[in-house]
Chain A
Amino acid sequence: MLETQHHHHTHTAAGEAKIHVKDLNFWYGDFNALTGVTVDILKGAITAFIGPSGCGKSTFLRCMNRMNDLIPGTRVEGLMTLDGEDIYGQGVDPVDVRRRVGMIFQQPNPFPQSIYDNVAYGPRLQGVKRKNELDAIVEDSLKRANLWKEVKDILGKSGLALSGGQQQRLCIARVLAVQPEVLLMDEPCSAIDPTSVQKIEDLMAEIKDEVTIVIVTHNMQQAARVSDFTAFFLQEVAGEPAVLVEYGRTSEVFTSPCDRRTEDYITGRFG
């Protein structure tokens, strides 16, 4: 049983905790994939999860919007709250959680429908019907996703007709249209072109006041560029659960990491 040692840098709070996690354990059936994770995701900031492949960062991310519930045989122990309310509490509907905590996936996945219908999907789910309301939401969301200028004249075209980077921004617009409080991004830039990556990083900075962002990335330069806080995950021994090794302000984690393992990873000695 690995001793979970994780180091939290002392820091002046940038805001209160949007998501508070205490002693989270995650199980895929009999396999304990994550253990003893304790961290606060702060409101109005961008938090990056870094670490080598397969070390549980995406799994932990998916705990935050209960997407893991869709996989049979998974189990969560410990505490995870959103604004103080237990996400995994008795009687909590995961659908409600996912409306407040949106997700962007590694592979852009627009629906095979028009750009407009893609973005209007969420609001329609929520019961918005009037055209002028929908039009306003669609335009607003596409602007926040840094895509409006490129598609404003082709809203009727299929979402699949866009380039990879545009599709990912479309997915971001789609999620933003439901006005989530938190946005989880699972390696969103790994499959798209550098210009779009830049645009996505720009929009992240613009919306972070309203939408708390958590981004999983295996690109450390990106983590260093965009995030305010960084959490480093590691599965040291195959077959053992992964742990949260270190968490703190990005500048501190990258320049003066507390843990030897963090330093090794950041300087490229493994991973």
Chain B
Amino acid sequence: MGRRAANNLALAVLWIAAGTTVVILFSIIGYVVINGIQSLSWGFITTWPQGVNAEGGIAPIIVNTLYVTGLAMLFTTPIAVLAAVYLTEYAVQGKMVDTIRFAADSLASVPSIVMGLFGFALFVEALGWGFSMLAGAAALTFLMLPIVMRATEEAIRSVPRYIRWGSYGMGATKWQTVSRAVLPAAAPRIITGIILAMGRAAGETAVVLYTVTQAIDLAKTPMQSGRVMPVHLYLLAMEGINLPAAYGTALVLMILILGLNMIARWISKRYRKV
């Protein structure tokens, strides 16, 4: 085959590859939207599921999802941000730093079912918290930790050196420089990382299945728990009886997660010039 022909063929294949990816995305989203939009109504979002087949709405399930995700974010953010501050500003490069990085990478690769069983063994049983928002949030924290750590590290690294010099040049201590000049400058990217991690946590099923109850309750305190959206979707999908509700749940879940992703992307675009 001539060079030019081979080139054209290859380019066509590559176009097809990229196109396939885009088409797949639109198919999945489109399918969920088209089928789910019929179920989406004010009532769906505000009423409780009724009966064996979960007719009605998914109000408490939405709240539970937000609850456990928000709680996990509260746990993760301070630990992950300060951990990243340590790695970038205070740590001496060496074995300990390598070990910490290896541990963070490992946490990021743990299969979610293993994380779920771990959460069950430690938080639900060993610590005696039972199935609770607290147990779910704690398990999700280990999942979100490496994501936010990495994002914060990159954010801090991208703050130019001369910002630090400006602060030191005025007689600021290291912590003052980090907390008042560096972290504020890195804040947009850190927030982006946190939001993306929240999106991940909101969609997590396997971790939550073993730390949070499947019962349709509304969790009001961290020790209580109630079903969350991914679990609801899973159960409805497997039973196959109430598909409209399943589509509706999938749609609401996707709106939540993709909404978070869009916000994260908007933040990073808006602050890129800095």
Q: A residues engaging B (CB < 8 A)? A: 65, 67, 70, 95-100, 102-105, 107, 109-113, 121-122, 124-125, 160, 171, 174-175, 178
State how many angstroms separate the Cβ of A59 from the closest Cβ of chain B.
14
- The tally of CB-CB contacts under 8 A between chains A and B is 68
| A98 CB contact (under 8 Å) in B163, B169, B273, B274 | B169
Q: Judging by beta carbons under 8 Å apart, are B166 and A95 in contact?
A: no
Q: Judging by beta carbons under 8 Å apart, are B185 and A112 in contact?
A: yes
Inter-chain contacts of B162 with A (CB < 8 A): 105, 107, 109
Q: Which residue of A lies closest to B180 (CB)?
A: A121
Inter-chain contacts of B273 with A (CB < 8 A): 160
8 Å CB interface, B259-274 against A: 273-274
Inter-chain contacts of B165 with A (CB < 8 A): 67, 70, 103, 105, 109
**Could you tell me the dominant secondary structure of chain B's interface residues?**
helix
Inter-chain contacts of A102 with B (CB < 8 A): 169-171
Known: A105-B162, A160-B274. A111 touches B170 (CB 8 A): no
Q: Judging by beta carbons under 8 Å apart, are B184 and A178 in contact?
A: no
B106 interfacial by beta-carbon distance below 8 Å: no
Known: A111-B181, A125-B176. A103 touches B274 (CB 8 A): no
Q: Judging by beta carbons under 8 Å apart, are B185 and A103 in contact?
A: no
8 Å CB interface, B228-274 against A: 273-274
Known: A112-B185, A121-B180, A160-B274. A171 touches B166 (CB 8 A): yes
Complex CA–CA separation, A122 to B169 (angstroms): 10
Complex CA–CA separation, A1 to B127 (angstroms): 71
Count residues on chain B whose CB falls below 8 Å from chain A CBs.
19
Q: Judging by beta carbons under 8 Å apart, are A121 and B274 in contact?
A: no
Q: List 5 A-B contacts (CB under 8 A).
A: A98-B168, A100-B171, A103-B165, A110-B166, A111-B167
Q: Contacts A109-B163, A112-B184, A174-B166 given; 12 further ones with Cβ under 8 A?
A: A65-B169, A67-B168, A70-B165, A70-B168, A98-B168, A98-B171, A99-B170, A110-B166, A111-B185, A121-B170, A125-B180, A171-B166
State how many angstroms separate the Cβ of A142 from the closest Cβ of chain B.
16
Complex CA–CA separation, A125 to B175 (angstroms): 11
B173 interfacial by beta-carbon distance below 8 Å: yes
| A174 CB contact (under 8 Å) in B170, B180, B184 | B170
Q: Which residue of A lies closest to B173 (CB)?
A: A95
B108 interfacial by beta-carbon distance below 8 Å: no
Q: Judging by beta carbons under 8 Å apart, are A98 and B170 in contact?
A: yes
Complex CA–CA separation, A242 to B162 (angstroms): 26
Inter-chain contacts of B180 with A (CB < 8 A): 121, 124-125
B172 interfacial by beta-carbon distance below 8 Å: yes
Complex CA–CA separation, A110 to B162 (angstroms): 9
